[in-house]
Structure 1
């Protein structure tokens, strides 16, 4: 049975839904990426090497990725709003346990558990928007939501850097807890208008894995999963390696200064916010071609190896990447006629899996040729994404022709 079609919110209520989910997204991504800016503090406090401290980011991302599918199943059974709100409050309260962690292993286990809570909003939000908003609002809502993702990621990394520079561990945990509580309370208040999202979306007798099998068997959706995964495979890992490059000679940036490169994400925040308008004006495929071109151009610009060229390059890359992500996220939600939360969860699984695989793929390039090697490896992945787009556009064209044919048959 297909998911229920309950496009009931518009106007002020629709905007409240968009703002509520966007605030929830900011809370999630601050909590996800804050530790990336605190790695020097973590290494010192828990007496581990700087390299070992990066595990705290890896385990969180890993458990987040694996939990996405579970939330998709749960929200299809019991509704969108309840699991989302419950997980947000559990996340906020779980930060209090950070005061009590005795060693680094305990911290890893706690972050592993928090990663499971962090998956709720990414897994549910796009399906929630698709369920509750009219189609004409969906593209704008998706663009605003992706922009909130970008803002939360920037804020989390920079806030972590500020905490590591100016606060001790307990002060940092207190600030994180209070900020999360404020964001979660605000998100719940905004989402309180929408009780309709607590309805079930599947009958109990339906096979729980049917939606995943359905979407994995759809070449149109598989193409979107591949496009997003390859793009994030490049983007998130380029930002990791460039920090190492900027901390080395001839730049010699300190750890906090190196996190400032994440301000280049702002171009992605702006571009994703305009993605709906650009898709309408340029068309989906031309916009994706332009976006892949921007990622390639940005990577090449950094080879000039000046601070200005590196910043300009990352502004271009972030702009291109977030356009790809916003387009794919929206197209997955629109392209899934049923089991929408599962379709979105599969997209995000491929997205975070790309991030996980990108580090091991680019590491030999870094070890052999340093930043120039990372750029070479990135361009290989960007070329693969261009090939994937070439294949996907034929599927999209065939899908559009089939839809037009069906429409003419219905009219006749």
Structure 2
């Protein structure tokens, strides 16, 4: 994610094989792992293009999270009700990831990314003219569909287009872009809500998005290597393609260990991202009374998660995923409980600890999925991200009930309930060998 670190380093370059020599079978097919990398200059452009696209995506996804007080005021809804603008977008984004995973295998990676980005920029014009909260929710539902293309396709695009020596650079840069896009988007929203009206804010978001999309389009290569088919004279039946896609998804869903990891990622994000929404409302009330922008500075706590995610590849190799899952769980429990201490510094420390625990969990989930998914890896990743963002979508309405009953103390109780379910999932995952039977 979101931040939005969608992939860990180990899951990106630890399980990818790319050969410069291409062998073509009698049927005219090229193996997915037999790809001719393009020129080095084009590879660098592709890395920067997709990283900038990621920044644009996460700015558009999370800017509204930093604008919740302004949204509540402008559309005359409660602060808790305003959190739905993030939940509904995460909901449609979650299921759209599965669509893009399939469609990009059919038409290529480039077209869905470019078309969705330009439509996203245009959709921001609609936000300028919305006059009621229901209309805002409908536009954000649409944006969720458009926001899904880049996170669903980017890693497969990298794997197909880049030479091995570019992998580490691409992974590190892309992860950083995810993180910075999420943090900047929230702070950007908080700053605008302090000084600009709703229409002015959305106009500025439109301009920023339009510039970003134009640069991405310029940087992206005009052509892409399509590793699936060289000779298109023989095409599989559409029904056979659909059956193959469904079998790929179903194989991962029915894998007990894989489905537990999907649940772990979804529960962790369900708690963490929505805690950040409600803590803004808490910090703007007594006894803190922070301004709209100062309240959004809590999002800088994501940086501890970025650091933890960066170190996670080494830790996974050294300690194993199960130990890290358990350690991350304890960090999230400790961080959540610390926020009950009635001081600003305790809240900041608590969110620093929670963010590091969450992103460690997220990195372990990504690595597990990448290792375990021998076939249909893109579909496995899309299923994980679907559960991940579905958790974000459901977490808003879920924690809203606790907020309305007991404010921040209620949110902590709701979070601990989710953590109890997370502990059960980790316990079940730890039983038996993690390796997939042959």
Q: With structure 2 as the length reference, what TM-score do the two structures score?
A: 0.80
| Cα shift at 1:94 | 2.4
Q: 2:421 aligns with which of 369, 372, 384?
A: 384
RMSD between aligned alpha carbons? 3.1
5+ long unaligned stretches in structure 2:
1-28
Shift of the 262–242 alpha-carbon distance from structure 1 to 2, 3 Å rule, reads same
**Structure 1 residue 121: deviation in Å?**
1.5
Give matches, 1:192-341, under 5 Å.
Answer: 192=221, 195-197=224-226, 203=236, 204=238, 205-206=240-241, 207=243, 208-341=245-378
Task: Report matched runs for 1:33-72 at 5 Å.
Answer: 33-72=62-101
Q: After alignment, is 351-360 or 125-134 more displaced?
A: 125-134
1:152 counterpart = 2:189: no
Pick which of 76-85 and 326-335 moved more: 326-335
Deviation at 1:114, TM superposition (A): 1.5
Distance change >3 Å, CA 164–CA 263, structure 1 → 2: same
Give me the whole-angstrom Cα distance separating, in 1, the residues matched to 2:278 and 2:297.
14
C-alpha deviation, 1:189, in angstroms: 4.1
How far, CA to CA, are the matches of 1:193 and 1:283 in structure 2?
42
Structure 1, 9-18 or 33-42: larger mean CA deviation = 9-18
Distance in structure 1 (CA, Å) of the matches to 2:73 and 2:414: 33
CA distance in 1 between partners of 2:352 and 2:322 (Å): 22
Change (3 A) 1:329 1:143: farther
Check whether the contact 1:16–1:190 (CA below 8 A) recurs between aligned residues. yes
Q: Deviations over 1:222-263 (max 9, x none)?
A: 122011011112101221222232222222223332222111
Structure 1 residue 20 and structure 2 residue 57: aligned? no
Residue 340 of structure 2: SS of its match in structure 1?
helix
CA offsets 1:194-228 (integer angstroms, 9 cap, x no match): 61158569954322422211211122321220110
Please give the secondary structure, in 2, of the residue aligned with 1:304: coil
2:32 is the alignment partner of 1:4: yes
Contact 2:160 2:227 in 1 (8 A): no
Distance in 2 (CA, whole Å) between partners of 1:77 and 1:118 is 19
* C-alpha distance 103-391 of structure 1, shift in aligned 2 (>3 A): closer
Say if 1:37 and 1:160, in contact at 8 Å, map to a contact too: yes
Q: Which has the higher helix share?
A: 1
For structure 1, the residue ranges without an aligned partner over 5 or more in a row are 404-412
Between 126-135 and 254-263, the greater mean CA deviation after superposition: 126-135
How many residues align? The count is 401
Residues 1:188 and 2:206 are matched in the alignment:
no
Q: Normalising to structure 1: TM-score of the pair?
A: 0.85
Distance of 2:291 and 2:275 partners within structure 1: 18
Change (3 A) 1:51 1:377: closer
